[in-house]
Structure 1
């Protein structure tokens, strides 16, 4: 995977005669991000640093993700907001021999990924051409020039990551495939650290966690600092975020058995330099699908796959 300093901007995709208009995909002038927009107006923007989704807008231009006004988008630190990728460790793991020396949440979110290409509904197998959709693929490997130097130093496995971001009119899907290209197995954890934008956190509640481990009520209302790891039962149960009891987001998971729910509330938000505005906790809620309760052991030549689909409801 070779980075080109002067990579040209992608041209606007053209429509095939006789088919409806397709998505447009463009690079930022400084090649720091990729933006896709459907002909109906929905859009998604992905920063190559961390392959972090930093914007998801509906057709009316309303933002669905929360991004801190003080977030660093220049590659100097992990992005506060959007959808950072956590790999190969969730938090820190000082007692785990393979990941004990890695920084918090690993290195995927602090590496520069390569844009691998795009697909549209016109070319996606099984998709109707009149269903506007676009998929963006990103890659990171142990041999990539953009890999965080701490990765090779503290996690010397050969690996290949493929991250896909798929935008449709009513949903956003993010999926990751982590392949072990080494001769020995490695352990990993994966999480999609999604910051959802809400209007007022005091009116937000969550359903779908009523049978989860360590939860004993059907609805969780956010009224203080929240940092919980749930294991829903059944594992494939969707999680729904409601505002004023009206559903707003539905989160479906594939092979990601846990859901982390996080909001820093007043004191913790005040103590984070890259969290702004300080009352921004009122407009955000992290609902983070992941495989983090234990370790995923990936044998040589094998792969771990996981995905989430966030659907706009209500």
Structure 2
């Protein structure tokens, strides 16, 4: 055999892709779960596109979910991250939404799972997309709110964070007004040792005290009774709201285009009156810090879109 001095060298081995997130659909195609190669996980129920669980690499749960939560589609989930749209609470004086149930219909509707996406050069994150449109609504909801809309909800899991992004589009010819909120239930060890910072000197509506207009002092928020407040932070959405538990910073919430923050804990009496709130002393182990656009109405003309987001970082 002739020895060729310039013979081609062996082909380089094909570089293998890094491990990718594993996404599974289970429970009668009603749940979507994503697990990163590093162990972090998120679980979303298609009913309401409700995030039920978010765990870090060691399996430590970050969200509070009531033991009595209904996960069969009979009512909105108590816990996790329910989605509020197109009205926050009830609005009897706002004609378009006056007949809707509390917090609207997004958390009571079955969403579609639109698929996953990730950075192919990295295994650091995975994005899950969910959709809801006026065509998906049941007849009763369409009668109560007859506007054409589209909702795109993206949940992105990364090793040290969870991002949730909601895009609302007016797909009809008629303008509509709406509100939206990410009703996040954080799991904490002891509400009596929790502080919330980042809302200092900010105006708020105190819903426990007759919806009176008040201003937060320069001190952190602490809890000693039922709390239900709608803040409009003076430092804007980009300034983090931090939840500290027992002197240790646990969560850092950064908002994008969501001007308001609701802080809620039902305490003893309110918890006792909610049939799906279990255990009854569960208020000791949860606090809601909810990013939203709820103090005013977002008006969307034909073809307009509104996008709001939060990213929760583990400190």
TM-score under structure 1 normalisation?
Answer: 0.91
Aligned to 1:210: 200
Tell me whether 1:40 sits opposite 2:38 in the alignment.
yes
Contact 1:208-1:218 within 8 A present in 2 as well:
no
Find runs of 4+ consecutive structure 1 residues off by over 4 angstroms.
Answer: none
Tell me whether 1:132 sits opposite 2:124 in the alignment.
yes
Larger radius of gyration: 2
RMSD: 1.1
Aligned to 2:146: 156
Give the Cα–Cα distance (whole angstroms) in 1 for the partners of residues 217 and 124 of structure 2: 41
Give the Cα–Cα distance (whole angstroms) in 1 for the partners of residues 15 and 169 of structure 2: 39
Aligned to 1:261: 263
Tell me whether 1:173 sits opposite 2:163 in the alignment.
yes
**Residue 148 (structure 1) shift:** 4.1
- SS of 2:135 mapped into structure 1: coil
What whole-Å deviation, never above 9, does each CA across 1:15-38 have from its counterpart, x for those lacking one?
x95221010000014111000000
Give the Cα–Cα distance (whole angstroms) in 2 for the partners of residues 163 and 26 of structure 1: 18
TM-score under structure 2 normalisation?
Answer: 0.90
Contact 1:44-1:53 within 8 A present in 2 as well:
yes
- SS of 1:98 mapped into structure 2: helix
Aligned to 1:277: 279
**What does 1:108-257 align with in structure 2 at a 5 Å threshold?**
108-122=106-120, 129-144=121-136, 147-213=137-203, 214-236=215-237, 237-257=239-259
Give the Cα–Cα distance (whole angstroms) in 1 for the partners of residues 188 and 246 of structure 2: 11
Contact 1:254-1:307 within 8 A present in 2 as well:
yes
Aligned to 2:290: 288
Give the Cα–Cα distance (whole angstroms) in 2 for the partners of residues 28 and 90 of structure 1: 31
Number of corresponding residues:
290
Aligned to 1:11: none
In structure 2, stretches of 5+ residues that fail to align are: 1-13, 204-214
Give the Cα–Cα distance (whole angstroms) in 2 for the partners of residues 229 and 17 of structure 1: 52
